[in-house]
C-alpha cells in the first residue's frame, strides 16, 4: 500500500474537530501547519460557479484553481481524482512548467474549494461542465491538452462527450491523457471504506466514530500538507459525500467510455502497475475494448514502479510521456514496432513501458525454409 493509499484510508476515518458550517474558501484565517499546503493555497485564486444539478437549487460555490508557466506556451489542463485535489500534481508540475502553460482546479468538495455540507450533490456530470467553463471563461484556453486521473477520468470522459457533441465548443482539445482510474468498475478492487460511503448508516458511523480526534499539527511534510488540505472547509467530512460518485460512474461508465472510439483526439493511456485498487486489468480491458482499434492515434504505457498515483510515484517519467506526446514524437500504427524496439533498447528499469496495439493476423515469414513434422526443409 502506498503512502497516499494509507493517507486516503486514514482520511476516511479521521473527522476533524467540529467547526463552522460556513465556507472557509478565501478565508485567510485558516491555520496551516504545512508550508507546502500554505504555499499551494496562496498561489491560487477562485472563481464562482452556480450549480447546474437540479437538487442543488442553483447554489453558488467558490472553486479554487492555479496556473503555472508562460501564457504563450502550449496549454495543459490537469484534472484531479478522489479523494484528493489538484495538489496530487505538485511533484509533476515542476517537470513541465517551463515548457507548458498549466492550469488545474479543485472540484467542489475537494482541496481548497467550497465543500457544502447541507445536502449538496457532488456530481461528475456537473464537474464536466465546470471544466468547460474553466477553460472557456476563467483561463481562456483556446487549444489545450487534457490530463485526467482517477475520478477525474470519468469527469474527462463526460467532458469529452459534451465536447464531441458541441459543433462550436469555442476551443480545441489537442490531446487526451488518461491515468489510473476505476473507470470500469466491474474490474476494480474497491476497498471496504469506499463501499461504506455509499450507505447512509455506515457513512454516518465513519464520521461519528472519529469526531473527537484532534487535527494533525506535525509530521512528515507531504502527509501534513494533505492533512491541512483535508481539514480546509471540513474536507474530511465532504469526501464522504463526494465518494458517492461511484454510483454515477456505475450508471454511466459504458456510455462515457464509448466516447473514446468516436473521438478524433489522440490518446496516451498511462497506468501505474502496482495499483491494487484499480488493477491493470482495467487498463487492458479499456484499451482492448475502446482504444486498440480506433482510427485516431493511441498509445498505451505501463509504469512498473508506480502505483495508483503515477504523477506522484514517478512524476518525471509521466512528464516525459506527456512531452513525447505533445511534441509529436509518438509513432503512428505503422511505425510503432520500430519505435518500441528503439525505445525499449534504452529505457531504464523504472521507465514507462510502451505497449503496442494488438494486430492479430496470420504471419507470413519471409523464409526459404518450411516446417514439416519430419524436419525443417528447404523450399525448392
Using the predicted structure, report yes or no on whether residue 6 has a pLDDT greater than 60: no
Provide the grid cell at 373. 513434422
Give a yes or no: residue 303 inside a domain. no
Scored b (16 or more CB within 10 A) or e, 303-312 reads: bebbbbbbbb
Provide the grid cell at 185. 468498475
Give a yes or no: residue 324 inside a domain. no
Q: What is the pLDDT of residue 318?
A: 98
Provide the grid cell at 101. 502553460
Q: What is the pLDDT of residue 28?
A: 66
pLDDT digits (tens, 9 = 90+) for 141-188: 999 999 999 999 999 999 999 999 999 999 999 999 999 999 999 999
Using the predicted structure, report yes or no on whether residue 266 has a pLDDT greater than 70: yes
Q: Is the dihedral of CA 347, 353, 356, 358 positive or negative?
A: positive
Give a yes or no: residue 275 inside a domain. no
Rounded CA-CA distance 110/52 in Å is 18
Q: What is the dihedral of CA 155, 53, 75, 26, to 10 degrees?
A: -120
Q: What is the pLDDT of residue 360?
A: 80
Segment among 20-29, 149-158, 272-281, 371-380 with least mean pLDDT: 20-29
224 is in which domain, residue-wise?
Answer: 3-263
Question: Given the C-alpha cell 498511462, which residue does it identify?
Answer: 270
Q: How many domains does the chain have?
A: 1
- Decide: helix, strand or coil at residue 193: helix
Overall residue count recorded for the chain in this entry: 380
Nearest CA-CA partner of 315 in 181, 182, 179, 189? 179
Give a yes or no: residue 90 inside a domain. yes
Give a yes or no: residue 300 inside a domain. no
Q: Which residues does residue 353 pair with via DSSP β-bridges, in sequence order?
A: 302
Give a yes or no: residue 360 inside a domain. no
Q: Considering the chain, what is the average pLDDT of its residues?
A: 91
Residue 67 sits in a domain of what CATH number?
3.40.50.1820
DSSP summary character for residue 310: H
pLDDT digits (tens, 9 = 90+) for 182-238: 999 999 999 888 898 899 889 888 877 756 678 889 999 999 999 999 999 988 889
Rounded CA-CA distance 250/268 in Å is 24
pLDDT cut 70: percent of the chain above it: 92
When pLDDT is cut at 50, 70 and 90, the band that residue 359 belongs to is confident
pLDDT digits (tens, 9 = 90+) for 336-351: 999 999 999 999 999 9
Q: What is the pLDDT of residue 230?
A: 92
Nearest CA-CA partner of 230 in 203, 161, 222, 348? 222
Give a yes or no: residue 379 inside a domain. no
pLDDT digits (tens, 9 = 90+) for 7-51: 444 444 333 333 333 344 455 689 999 999 999 999 999 999 999
Return the axis-axis angle of helices 245-257 and 151-165, rounded to nearest 10°.
50
Segment among 10-24, 125-139, 236-250 with least mean pLDDT: 10-24
Using the predicted structure, report yes or no on whether residue 60 has a pLDDT greater than 90: yes
- Decide: helix, strand or coil at residue 123: coil
Give a yes or no: residue 293 inside a domain. no
Mean pLDDT across the stretch 104-131? 97
Q: What is the pLDDT of residue 210?
A: 56
CB 155 within 8 A of CB 185: no
Provide the grid cell at 280. 491493470
Q: What is the pLDDT of residue 17?
A: 30
Using the predicted structure, report yes or no on whether residue 101 has a pLDDT greater than 90: yes
Segment among 2-11, 211-220, 268-277 with least mean pLDDT: 2-11
Q: Say what the pTM is.
A: 0.90
Query: Pairing relation of β-strands 143-148 and 172-178?
Result: parallel
CA distances from residue 373 to 268, 364, 367, 376 in whole angstroms, order as listed? 45, 19, 17, 8
Output the CA angle 23-29-32, nearest 5 degrees. 100
Rounded CA-CA distance 160/264 in Å is 11
Q: What is the pLDDT of residue 211?
A: 60
CB 182 within 8 A of CB 282: yes
pLDDT digits (tens, 9 = 90+) for 283-296: 999 999 999 999 99
Amino acid at each position: 500500500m502506498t503512502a497516499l493509499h494509507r493517507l486516503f484510508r486514514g482520511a476516511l476515518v479521521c473527522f476533524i474537530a467540529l467547526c463552522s458550517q460556513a465556507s472557509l474558501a478565501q478565508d485567510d484565517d485558516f491555520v496551516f501547519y504545512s508550508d507546502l499546503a500554505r504555499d499551494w493555497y496562496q498561489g491560487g485564486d477562485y472563481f464562482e460557479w452556480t450549480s447546474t444539478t437540479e437538487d442543488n437549487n442553483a447554489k453558488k460555490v467558490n472553486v479554487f484553481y492555479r496556473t503555472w508557466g508562460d501564457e504563450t506556451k502550449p496549454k495543459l489542463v490537469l484534472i484531479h481524482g478522489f479523494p484528493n485535489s489538484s495538489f496530487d500534481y505538485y511533484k509533476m508540475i515542476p517537470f513541465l512548467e517551463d515548457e507548458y502553460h498549466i492550469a488545474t482546479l479543485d472540484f467542489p468538495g475537494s482541496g481548497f474549494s467550497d465543500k457544502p455540507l447541507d445536502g449538496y450533490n457532488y456530481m461528475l456530470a456537473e464537474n464536466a461542465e465546470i471544466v468547460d467553463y474553466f477553460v472557456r471563461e476563467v483561463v481562456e484556453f483556446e487549444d489545450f491538452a487534457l490530463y485526467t486521473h482517477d475520478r477525474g477520468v470519468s469527469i474527462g470522459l463526460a467532458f469529452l462527450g459534451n465536447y464531441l457533441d458541441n459543433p462550436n465548443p469555442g476551443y480545441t482539445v489537442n490531446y487526451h491523457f488518461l491515468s489510473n482510474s476505476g473507470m470500469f468498475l466491474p474490474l476494480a478492487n474497491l476497498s471496504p471504506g469506499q463501499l461504506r460511503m455509499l450507505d447512509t448508516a455506515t457513512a454516518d458511523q465513519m464520521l461519528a466514530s472519529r469526531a473527537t480526534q484532534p487535527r494533525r499539527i506535525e509530521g512528515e511534510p507531504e502527509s501534513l500538507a494533505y492533512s491541512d488540505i483535508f481539514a480546509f472547509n471540513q474536507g474530511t467530512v465532504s469526501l464522504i459525500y463526494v465518494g458517492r460518485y461511484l454510483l454515477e460512474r456505475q450508471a454511466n461508465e459504458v456510455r462515457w467510455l464509448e466516447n473514446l472510439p468516436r473521438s478524433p483526439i489522440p490518446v496516451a493511456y498511462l497506468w501505474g502497475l502496482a495499483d491494487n485498487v484499480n488493477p491493470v486489468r482495467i487498463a487492458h480491458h479499456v484499451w482492448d475494448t475502446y482504444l486498440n482499434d480506433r482510427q485516431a492515434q493511441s498509445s498505451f504505457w505501463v509504469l512498473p514502479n508506480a502505483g495508483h498515483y503515477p504523477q506522484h510515484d514517478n512524476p518525471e517519467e509521466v512528464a516525459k510521456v506527456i512531452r513525447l506526446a505533445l511534441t509529436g514524437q509518438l509513432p503512428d500504427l505503422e511505425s510503432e514496432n520500430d519505435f518500441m524496439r528503439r525505445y525499449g533498447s534504452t529505457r531504464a528499469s523504472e521507465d514507462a513501458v510502451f505497449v503496442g496495439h494488438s494486430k492479430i493476423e496470420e504471419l507470413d515469414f519471409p523464409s526459404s525454409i518450411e516446417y514439416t513434422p519430419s524436419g525443417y526443409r528447404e523450399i525448392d
